[in-house]
Structure 1
Amino acid sequence: MSRPGPKIPPVVLSDAERAMLQSWVRRRSSAQSLALRSRIVLESADGHAIAEVARRLGITTDTVRAWRRRFLERRLDGLCDEPRPGVPRKITDTDVERVIVKTLEETPKDATHWSTRSMAAATGMSQSAISRIWRAFALQPHRAETFKLSKDPLFIDKVRDVVGLYLDPPERALVLCVDEKSQIQALDRSQPVLPMMPGVPERRSHDYVRAGTTTLFAALDTATGKVIGSLHRRHRTVEFKKFLVKLDKEVPADLEVHLILDNYVTHKVPAVKTWLLAHPRFHLHFTPTGSSWLNLVERWFAELTTKKLRRGVHRSVQALERDIRAWLADWNEHPRPFVWTKTADDILDKVAAYCRRISDSGH
């Protein structure tokens, strides 16, 4: 007959300890190891045996036994990792603060922005230390982005109007994002393109020969992703009216047509207004000035540029137009709609926060 083992002392928690352990389990910022240890103690306090706790948490009984014992010996402090031995810190908090302040508030005398080398020379620290500090605080002095805030007095109304069409389109209607990609250049490289080989990327000469330009008028169906396109050599009111006529022919007559477009002058001339009066099913919705990002067809133009135009070689405008038509036809065989997710309030709140940020910057 086997002898019984030593009696295992029970785990009894105070209300404060239980609340703290539960918060460590729920907090997203808690380390996974601390959350697991907290679960071990909570399960043990609920009366589960060591083997049962190990099975429920998918760990070994030795792990349960070790952290159970440490909690009984040192309570909550026993669950936290002890400081590991190592070389004392050489970079103090004051040094870190000095680098951050200098990065954010000063510029070097001989450049527009800091590099790790110039900051190291200015602070007497190593380049690797500067790099670690910048990474820790997500500072990237070598990067710069562009922005533009719309000055349109009807900015809020236009944002709500356009976003409303994206998120809640009207019934028995087609929502089309319309714009022109003008001055598309037919470019031929001055020397033949060298194809890609193993270990060597495709190479092309930096200079090119211009063979002319064309303009693509496009209307993106927000529901299906299909695009109605038309190519013209010029970009005038006449061409825009021709494109409207094309849309009128291709969109079923029983559907209303809502066009989202920018504030380009050809969209607002008297001739276009007269045409719209004769075709009352067409409704125009203008994006705010300086806010082309609100028009989804711009996203489609980016696809066209990236996948066909940027690295294309065309010796004539005719060749360029053939490639664009072929790419458009291929897109419409397998259309992919761009799904808008941001509400108008989300956009306006973000713009307001950015305005507060730049107004408080002191510049």
Structure 2
Amino acid sequence: MWGEDEAGPFQTIPHPGQQWGPAGHPARYPHEHVRNGTAKLLTLFHPASGAVRVQGVTSCRNPVLHGWLKAELRAILAARPAPPEPVSAAANRACWERWQEGLSQPITLSAALPPLRLLLVLDNLTGHKTPSFVCWLFDHGIMPLYTPLGGSWLNMTESVQRILKRRGLAGQHPTTPEAIIAALEAAAQGWNAAPTPFVWGGRRSDRRHRRRQRQHALGGSGACTRWPLSVPGEYWLFREFGAAGCGWRDG
């Protein structure tokens, strides 16, 4: 499974963040900057290995995006072993259709389908649903999976893009789109030197779960307490007197 997304546009402005500098001499950003164009980062991400493929561009129209995607996907498929031939055409189609179970608007599959080789997670941009592009994916054994509206965070590619953006542009002031592209591609090259696989859950999810278990929300607000408030009088005392309520609880 691979994910695809386009990060940006990134402007030629000072980007906040930490940077090296002499002690006592903090970095100063100019009070004026020239808007000299923008840049975007086309990204393909493989969560299982952490590998990322990127391309910086100044325009992200369909011919640019589709041309880059087709070239990269061909290279990915060429590096994979040839899939085994399906037992029957019906079994092969069932392998494709199982990824559309439960969808309110399933994609119309081609009449003749090759063996399924790759899953590609995309967001709901209109350009990702161009019939000619979708048919090209089908012809090469690639099943597009679109994130639901308002659920683009389900695409892990957005997570790695935030990391690359922070590593490449934080604390920098690029003055040209070419400088932005060079910084982001260099950050991706450094990431690929020691990639980190992405998984749902993991240690960060465990820490958040333990934190929620140690605290108790108050009335659905952002406030919380470390002790469960089961008696209405305790909640009133906590609300009115803050820490005094906790002291009353402890006797």
Same fold (TM over 0.5): yes
Matched residue count: 166
For residue 239 of structure 1, report the CA deviation from its aligned partner. 1.8
**Moved segments of 4+, more than 6 Å:** none
Consecutive unaligned residues in structure 2, runs of 5 or more: 84-116, 206-219, 222-251
For residue 277 of structure 1, report the CA deviation from its aligned partner. 3.4
- Partner of residue 243, structure 1: 68
Check whether the contact 2:4–2:45 (CA below 8 A) recurs between aligned residues. yes
Q: 1:310 to 1:234 in 2, by over 3 A?
A: same
Percent of aligned pairs with the same amino acid: 28
- Partner of residue 265, structure 1: 126
Check whether the contact 1:176–1:260 (CA below 8 A) recurs between aligned residues. yes
CA distance in 2, matches of 1:243, 1:257: 17
CA distance in 2, matches of 1:288, 1:335: 28
For residue 213 of structure 1, report the CA deviation from its aligned partner. 1.3
Using the size of structure 2 for normalisation, the TM-score is 0.59
Q: Specify which of 286, 308, 318 is matched with residue 146 of structure 2.
A: 286
CA distance in 2, matches of 1:182, 1:234: 11
Find out whether 1:314 has 2:174 as its counterpart.
yes
Per-residue deviation, residues 88-110 of structure 1 (Å, max 9, x unmatched): xxxxxxxxxxxxxxxxxxxxxxx
Find out whether 1:216 has 2:41 as its counterpart.
yes
Per-residue deviation, residues 258-296 of structure 1 (Å, max 9, x unmatched): 1111101110012212322332x1111111111121111
Check whether the contact 2:14–2:29 (CA below 8 A) recurs between aligned residues. no
Check whether the contact 2:57–2:181 (CA below 8 A) recurs between aligned residues. no
For residue 206 of structure 1, report the CA deviation from its aligned partner. 4.3
Q: 1:184 to 1:247 in 2, by over 3 A?
A: same
For residue 203 of structure 1, report the CA deviation from its aligned partner. 2.4
Higher RCO (CA 8 Å, separation ≥ 6 residues): 2
For residue 242 of structure 1, report the CA deviation from its aligned partner. 1.1
SS at match of 1:231: strand
- Partner of residue 325, structure 1: 185
Find out whether 1:234 has 2:59 as its counterpart.
yes
SS at match of 1:320: helix
Check whether the contact 1:182–1:235 (CA below 8 A) recurs between aligned residues. no
For residue 188 of structure 1, report the CA deviation from its aligned partner. 6.2
For residue 304 of structure 1, report the CA deviation from its aligned partner. 1.7
Consecutive unaligned residues in structure 1, runs of 5 or more: 1-174, 344-356, 359-363
Using the size of structure 1 for normalisation, the TM-score is 0.42
For residue 240 of structure 1, report the CA deviation from its aligned partner. 2.1
Q: 1:241 to 1:205 in 2, by over 3 A?
A: same
Q: Specify which of 107, 132, 137 is matched with residue 276 of structure 1.
A: 137
Find out whether 1:179 has 2:39 as its counterpart.
no
Question: Which residue type is aligned with residue 278 of structure 1?
Answer: D
- Partner of residue 201, structure 2: 341
CA distance in 2, matches of 1:235, 1:245: 14
Check whether the contact 1:221–1:227 (CA below 8 A) recurs between aligned residues. yes
Question: Which residue type is aligned with residue 284 of structure 1?
Answer: P
- Partner of residue 130, structure 1: none
For residue 195 of structure 1, report the CA deviation from its aligned partner. 6.4
CA distance in 2, matches of 1:307, 1:207: 24
